[in-house]
Structure 1
Amino acid sequence: MWRIKPLKLKPLIALPMALAVPAIAAPAPESTSLQAVQDHLAKVNSMTADFSQTDRNGKVLTGKLTLKKPGKIRFQYEKGVPYLVVSNGKAIYFIDYSVGDEQRYPIGNSPLSILLDPSRDASKFAKIVPTADPRIVSVEAYDPKNPQYGRITLIFAKQGSAPGGLMLEGWVTLDAQGNRTTIRLDDQKFNVPVSDRMFRWNDPKRAKRPH
């Protein structure tokens, strides 16, 4: 699908199981259902978090994630990184200010739609994936009719204080070419006030014009 050429990144479209906590010996716990995951997603109207992104080559970038339903998300990369990933509620934009390039994709074409579109019935495109650790809940989502959209594996930790008793720790995305990207989250805050102004951005073509 998309690619940020200078670092050969494919932001937010792929994840390895490195997010999972190391396996521990424990009695078989009560399994977490997909409905419990849907309940968690339904209770999250907004979220902020610090993120780290690891691409297929091991390159790591960090930044700030802001999410607001329906359909809005922003990945603001660390200072000095000329990229921005942002959705205005209708489409996701991948912006490279270093070359003045902007790529646009409908939200429904992205695995991230499971986080952004509260109207989607996850039972039609997602499933619980067994893990060795009873504290971890893993959910794989993809559209078998549109494999070109890639797939996403969401990683949750069971935590009573989080919405629905689940804390989103990150995700792994895998695109149609097999490229994997990992997002890890930290300092998650749920249902905090978020202004719609967070999802505006500067025109990358204007930013490249000589002064």
Structure 2
Amino acid sequence: MPKHLLTAALTASLVVFSASSAMADKLSLNAISNYLNGIKTADSPFTQINADGTISTGTISLSRPGRARFDYNPPEKALVMANNGTVVILDRKINGTAETYPLNQTPLSIILAANVNLAQANMVTAHGYDGTATIVTAQDPRNPEYGSIQLKFTDSPTELRQWIITDSGGSQTTVILGGLEKKSLPRSLFNIRDEIDKLN
């Protein structure tokens, strides 16, 4: 075989091999959905990169479906909680101050749903592999104007490592997880009313 044809054949083989390897490593939407549905209660330290470039740290606690809690480390005194279809932002620096939003108007509702099904029509807008992790971008197919969430997963075993929320105004917030650990968490940890009462 002429040298230039041999080189072309080897190059083509490497391209096919690389594509096949990436496809083998990319997690399917069903596998990711099953993983998220398998999370009942878990927590993790996190690092948050805010839209203005500042960095916050803290601990996230999840209790699916529908409940989440973000405890921010000092010097911040913020607490963000989701429960009963509502997201509440509490500023402990200003006693009694609370902002509330419907959970279903935030992209976080996608992973807190009772039944995560990323394979449903028009939910996933991007699904790829960057060489180390599977990256999925999802939105509420009925209300795409609420923003999107980009999720990053590693495999063997499947683990959620990061998400980036893009809100309706285009601002982005990145949350990097330090290691999501499945564990038993008390329901009282997600009681919004108790936390509001503590401020008064």
AA partner of residue 147 (structure 1):
P
- The equivalent position to 1:179 in structure 2, one of 166, 171, 174, is 171
Confirm or deny: 8 A CA contact 1:85 1:95 kept in the other structure. Answer: yes
- The equivalent position to 2:111 in structure 1, one of 107, 115, 122, is 115
Deviation digits for residues 10-43 of structure 1 (CA, Å, limit 9, x no counterpart): xxxxxxxxxxxxxxxx833214211111111121
Confirm or deny: 8 A CA contact 1:140 1:154 kept in the other structure. Answer: yes
Q: State the shift of 1:132 in Å.
A: 2.9
Cα distance in structure 2, aligned partners of 1:179 and 1:154: 16
- The equivalent position to 1:151 in structure 2, one of 126, 141, 148, is 148
Provide the residue aligned with 1:69 in structure 2.
Answer: 64
Cα distance in structure 2, aligned partners of 1:145 and 1:71: 19
* Unmatched 5+ stretches in structure 2: 1-16
Confirm or deny: 8 A CA contact 2:135 2:152 kept in the other structure. Answer: yes
* Unmatched 5+ stretches in structure 1: 1-25, 161-165
Confirm or deny: 8 A CA contact 2:110 2:139 kept in the other structure. Answer: no
Task: Confirm or deny that 1:195 pairs with 2:186.
Answer: yes
**TM-score normalized by structure 2?**
0.79
Provide the residue aligned with 1:137 in structure 2.
Answer: 134
Cα distance in structure 2, aligned partners of 1:127 and 1:37: 15
1:1-211 pair list within 5 angstroms: 27-28=18-19, 29=21, 30=24, 31-99=26-94, 100-124=96-120, 125-133=123-131, 135-160=132-157, 166-190=158-182, 192-200=183-191, 201-203=194-196, 207=199
Q: CA RMSD in A?
A: 2.0
Cα distance in structure 1, aligned partners of 2:46 and 2:77: 16
Q: State the shift of 1:176 in Å.
A: 1.6
Q: State the shift of 1:181 in Å.
A: 0.7
Give SS of 2:119's match: helix
Confirm or deny: 8 A CA contact 1:48 1:64 kept in the other structure. Answer: yes
AA partner of residue 132 (structure 1):
D
Confirm or deny: 8 A CA contact 1:140 1:153 kept in the other structure. Answer: yes
Deviation digits for residues 139-164 of structure 1 (CA, Å, limit 9, x no counterpart): 1111254233111001111122xxxx
